[in-house]
Amino acid sequence: MRIRIFPRYIIRLLLPYLALAAGIFTAVLCMNQFARVLGEAIKIGAPLGWVFYAMSQLTPGMLALGAPMAYQLAVLLTLGLLSERGELLALRAAGFSFWQMAWPPGLVALALCGALLWLNNFASPACFRRFMDSRYALAGRISNLRVEPKTVVNVGQWRFYADTVEDDGALEQVMLFRYPQGAEGRENWTLRVSAPRGTFAIVPSQGLVLDLEDGEMQKVDPADPSRVIMARFGEYSVAIPLVSPGQGARDISLNELSTPEIIRGIKHAELTEQRRAEYKVEAATRLAVALSPLVFFWLSCPLGIGLASRSRAAAMVLSVGILFAFYGATASGISLGRKLHALSWWAPWLADALGLLAGFFFWRRAVRG
């Protein structure tokens, strides 16, 4: 009877900590995204309802990032609470083995991994694609663009900057850039335009219309930067569409592709080796992060049970240290995979591998103790 009751007791202690920590981590991550979405909505004149829709589509991705951290913290807080109350010592005295005390959090970790595999590989990319689609569709209906002085305005593949912006549309010290965009960046030359003065207007049928005076233009071949065309002009007019021409022609980023789509894309003949490595790193990272709760279980249980009477404060400090080490190793693995193409599949698993190795020694010491 005691063996049946104890797992339920541990899980009932663990789940509230997990829910609270997941909520806090997700909220913190969403705050940064909310500031960006709100700033973009103000810049392009989007309605407030779109802001809430955008956040609803971005939240699953933030939850996928916060859930593993929340689990790790929840396990240590739960075991720290049991140590603080002296219950772990009582369980040892009652004949409970180390594994009998540890497996209930492992069961929660296994369930969380299943949820994260679905979230990371399917749900989050689909939600992010809906967010990008909504932003793209909204941009096609925008008739207002906020232009501020000393601020770079991004409009598609264009970058626009002016030192002074008057209410009547007058500009001073204007700089305009257009960077290559498309497969391998070979479709357009880089265009740089500068002028001491000009005017701007938002025209619904055209987009951002600029009229510049007495300036200079440079065109640079992206394939050979030594090839430069330079010219001076008295007047120069350009209409920058608020979206790229043609709805539905938007480039799809890796974050919007499901993992099966990424794996199929790796075989695409037109990909460069660098791009192929990025595909592999993205797919491997999603899987590695989805399975990280099992790594945190492997690390945290022997450490948490060994807290003795050092309370939940020690659990908090220990949790922060583990998270810094784990996500630092994850970032290092991702960077290594992008640089060394032969390791693109394996480098993102660096944090998981180190965590399992460290956990092996912690478990060995805990079982022997």
For the segment 206-228, what is each residue's pLDDT rounded down to a tens digit?
677 888 888 898 887 766 667 78
Among 156-165, 186-195, 199-208, 307-316, name the one with the lowest average pLDDT: 307-316
Same domain, 41 and 129: yes
Beta-sheet pairing, 170-178 with 190-203: antiparallel
Mean pLDDT, range 121-133, rounded to an integer? 93
Shared domain check, 319 and 212:
no
Mean of pLDDT values over 216-245: 76
**What pLDDT score was predicted for residue 288?**
96
Is 146 within a domain?
no
- pTM for the structure as a whole: 0.72
Q: Let me know whether 83 and 202 are in one domain.
A: no
Identify the CA nearest to 63 among candidates 55, 53, 73, 74: 55
Assess if residue 252 is contained within a domain: no
Q: Is residue 57 located within the same domain as residue 181? A: no
> Do 205 and 283 sit in the same domain of this protein?
no
Number of domains in the chain: 2
217 plus 335 within the same structural domain: no
pLDDT of residue 177: 84
Q: How do residues 282-306 score in pLDDT, each as one tens digit?
A: 999 999 999 999 999 998 888 777 6
Q: How far apart are CA 176 and CA 155, in angstroms?
A: 11
More confident residue, 138 or 310: 138
Q: What is the pLDDT of residue 184?
A: 40
The pLDDT score that the predictor gives to residue 292 is 95
Phi, psi for residue 299 in degrees, rounded to 5:
-80, -45
Q: What is the largest CA-CA distance in the chain?
A: 91
Most confident of the following: 64-68, 175-179, 196-200, 243-247: 64-68
Assigned domain for 15 exists: yes
The answer to the question of residue 122 being in a domain is yes
Domain hosting 20: range is 2-139+272-368
Of 1-5, 260-264, 323-327, minimum mean pLDDT range: 1-5
CA distance 170 to 31: 35
Mean pLDDT, rounded, for 332-351? 93
Tell me how crowded residue 132 is: count the other CB atoms within 10 A of its CB: 18
Say whether both 130 and 159 belong to one domain.
no
**pLDDT given at position 355:** 92
* pLDDT at residue 336 in the model: 94
Residue 321 has pLDDT above 80, yes or no: yes
